[in-house]
Structure formats: C-alpha cells, structure tokens
Amino acid sequence: MDDTALNLDPTAQQSEQQAIIEGLLSKARAAQAQFSNASQEQTDTAVTALAWSLYKPENAKALAELAVEDTGLGNVQDKITKNTRKTFGTLRDLSRVKSVGIIEKLPELGLVKYAKPVGVVAAVTPSTNPAATPVNKAMMAIKGRNAIIIAPSPAGLRTTTRAVELMRQQLAKVGAPENLVQVLPAPVNKAATNALVRSCDLSVVTGSQNNVKSAYSSGKPAIGVGVGNVSVIIDSSADLDDAAVKICQSKTFDNSTSCSSENSLVILDDVYDDAIAALKRAGGYLANHEEKQLIENSLWQDGKLNRHLIAKDANIFATHVGLGGESQSKRFFMVEETGVGDNYKFSDEKLALVLTVYRAKDFSHAKQLVSDILDYKGRGHSCGIHTHNLDHARELAEELDVVRVLVNQAHTFGNGGGFNTGLPFTLSMGCGTWGGNSISENLNYKHFLNITHLVTTIAEDKPSEEQMFGDFWQHYGK
C-alpha cells in the first residue's frame, strides 16, 4: 500500500490543508475585488439569485431531503418550509435597504454615511440547518458586496456543498463572479475551520459554542451566537387554547432543531390545570413520574444528549424511550419539573420534542423561574409570554437579561424574524454580552458592512457650563 496516498504525516496534512484554504481565499479575494464596484442594482440582482437558488421549489425540496438523509435531524416538510420562509423573508428585508454608496444623510449633523465591503467572510454553519443557514448568510454577505467561504458541519457537508453549487450556478446566470460563494471541501474538521476563520476578514459563527469561542480567539473580527434555552410563561390572562396551539406548532417544527424552540413552560398556578388540558388538546402528552425517568435515562447518555433521540419524530422518540399507549399518537411530550441546574437535566436545552413544565405560584415566581433557567443555560437569548397583560410583558423586558421577549407568539417562528413583527429574518440570533456575543440583535446585513463617515462642519453646538453643570452644582455644590 502507498503510504504517500494515505497522507499520514500530520505536517503534510496541515500543509495541504493550508494550501487549500489559501486557494479558496485567493479566489474569494479576486471575486470580491471584481464585485466591490457593483451597483446597488447589480448587488440586489445577485442577492435575489442566491435566494432563488434555495427558494426554487424543486431545490428547496431536494435540499431538505438531503439534509434529513445526511444529518438525521428534523423532517423534510418543515425543512422545506424553513428553506423557503427564511429565504423569502430575508430577501424581503434586503430588498428594502441600501448597501452601496451613500446609505444615509444627516445634514443636521453634517454627516454622510458610505457603505463599504468588509472583504472575505468565513461562515461557520450548523448541522441543524445545512442549507438555510449558508444561503441566509451568503445573501447578507453579498448584500455588502463581500465574498463568503462557508465551513459546514461535517454532518451537513453534502447538503451545504450542494447548496453552494446551486448558489454559484445562479450567480453565474446573472453575470456575478461564482467565487463570491465557496465551501470548504471534504474532509471538513475543526482544524480546517479554524484555519479558515484565521484567514478571513470577518467570521460569522452559528453552531457549537466551541466554534464561537475559537472564532473570538482567532485574532480576527468575529460574530457568534449564544445558547438557546427558551422559557415561555403562560400567564393567568392568556388565551390558553391559542397559546397551546402556538406552543405546539413552535415546539414540533422541524422536530425542535431550532435554538428558538420552547424548552420550558412556566405556568401560573391559577390556570395550570386548564393550561395542561389545552396543551393536551393541542397534541401534548404529560409523562408520569416513571415515564419522566424513562425519558431522562434515554435522552441523556454519559451526560450528553443522545444523538439517536434529538430532533426525531414523536413516534420514533416514544418508541425508543419505551413510552406506550396514548403517547404513540402525540406530537410532543411534557415532563413536570421543580428545580433548575445540573441536578435537574430537564431545565437544560433539549433539541428534542420534550417540553419541561413548571408551576409558578404567581407572576413574580414565574419571572424568577425564567431568570433562574436563563442563568443556568441560555442567558441573553430569549424568552416569551402568553398574556393579555402587557405590563407583565414589559416587566420581563425591563428585568430579564435577554435580547428578545416575544408576546403571544409561536417562538420558533417569531424569534428569527416574522412577517408580523419587526425583527429581521435571520438564522443567527445574537445574545449580547450576557451570552458571550458581540451583538445583541438578530444578525443582519448591517453586520457585513464597513461604514465611512463624511464629516462636515455645522453650527457650533457647545452648551454653557451652567447648562451642563447647573443642576449638579445646585444639589451638590462646586
């Protein structure tokens, strides 16, 4: 056997890997330099071409099927919906904004803002969305006239590679450089991903926290996302059936692959029994004590989530766990919990059709439970409430360390942008410094722009000392 063909020498492997990345980077820089002078119309045409590469019905279906086949996560129909809905919503957002030349004039401040590219973007994408996330990030990057190189998860490599091929075909069709969008070739591993991140001008990381931390320590600008572990309150004034239907729709979408999927419900005591009944009508199954133990023993293996159970169909989950009878026809599974932390595994993110349920004595207790859950896992990400008392929603926004508080919404559909909310469409949710992130909003096109400020003089705006210090002097003296 030819040992050379096996490439067993680690130094040789590293050298070959670096050569591959340098080749990708050289092509990306050439394409980006060519595209950097594109007009707004040419830029928007390229963005629309990328959107069509995934939104096109046969492509959305084929990539959804490939994703489920490759990763074993989620289900085909919901991935088709995700591929099309996220792409269409992102295209709507991007089509309405300027990203070329002068994007804002503030004559009262003597400022004019010019948009410039950031350069070559490294995009690390997760196995949960191996088609939707690469296309979503590529659309935002190209909106800024950048090039992008995608580092997929190993499990999603085949799907992401095909998505990139389709994007490149559409770019060529509209006369844009194909090498604006590229993908790391097999074999994809942490070393290759880290090398790519260190070589590009900006990295945008969705997925594991190890990847996020590696990007932040790369020496290059990086945008990462935090951990999801969404808690939603069902308040005393909630429309219980409406809340239950929305929670079911959100929890079961793509078998809970979304970081925005509900992981815990905190239900007020005075509506607890009625809320559980509504959740059962919507498709939920409430596990008894013995069944809860069966779920815990199966869902966690050696302290980690069991890859054979996460993001699986409900009937497969029930059969694997050993739940029988009525559970086999249900859409999701509820377990009652009382505590939070390492000794209460159900207070963590589950990426499965399991919903933890807490009983709160009153709204103050409910707030504390949500805060405790977030402090344990998911700080900064988001929470929600079903209520007719907007004062309670405002309290959550004022007091909890989260970027998003959703009111009366199916969390999965609202958190990453919706057609009836003002949040921009994205598949990457920043969690602020609470979640160890550099942004506290949904990732959007603005994060892929450099801005030049033209500064001209205006009438002097210099208050007097009395105006600035008068009140202070009056109360505390000079």
**Which amino acid is it at 207?**
G
Helix boundaries (H) for 377-464: 390-399, 411-415
Strands 181-183 and 147-151: parallel
126 contact partners, CB below 8 Å, separation of at least 6: 133, 153, 156, 206, 207, 208
Q: How far is Cα 446 from Cα 191, in angstroms, rounded to an integer? A: 29
Phi, psi of 460 (to 5 degrees): -55, 135
199 contact partners, CB below 8 Å, separation of at least 6: 21, 22, 25, 122
- To the query of whether residue 200 is one of the catalytic residues in this protein, the response is no
Q: Is the Cβ–Cβ distance between 207 and 125 less than 8 Å?
A: yes
* 235 closest CA partner among 376, 431, 349, 405: 405
Q: Which listed residue (200, 248, 259, 383) is catalytic?
A: 259
Q: What share of the chain is helix, strand, coil (3-state, %, to 5)?
A: 50, 20, 30
**Which amino acid is it at 92?**
R
- Concatenating the DSSP letter of every residue in 82-119 gives HHHHHHHHHHHHHHTS--SEEEEEEGGGTEEEEEEE--
* Tokens coding 315: 């009937």
Q: How far is Cα 228 from Cα 251, in angstroms, rounded to an integer? A: 13
CA angle at 224 for the pair 218 and 226, rounded to the nearest 5° = 130
Residue whose pair of structure tokens reads 């590229």 in the numeric block = 182
Q: How far is Cα 280 from Cα 268, in angstroms, rounded to an integer? A: 17
Greatest C-alpha distance within the chain: 89
Strands 402-407 and 332-336: unpaired
Q: How far is Cα 184 from Cα 382, in angstroms, rounded to an integer? A: 32
121 contact partners, CB below 8 Å, separation of at least 6: 137, 141, 146, 147, 148, 149, 200, 201, 202, 203, 204, 448
- Concatenating the DSSP letter of every residue in 195-214 gives HHHHHSSEEEE-S-HHHHHH
Region label for 475, one of left (φ > 0), alpha (ψ between -120 and 50) or beta (otherwise)? alpha
Q: How far is Cα 49 from Cα 172, in angstroms, rounded to an integer? A: 9
What amino acid positions are annotated as catalytic residues? Answer: 259
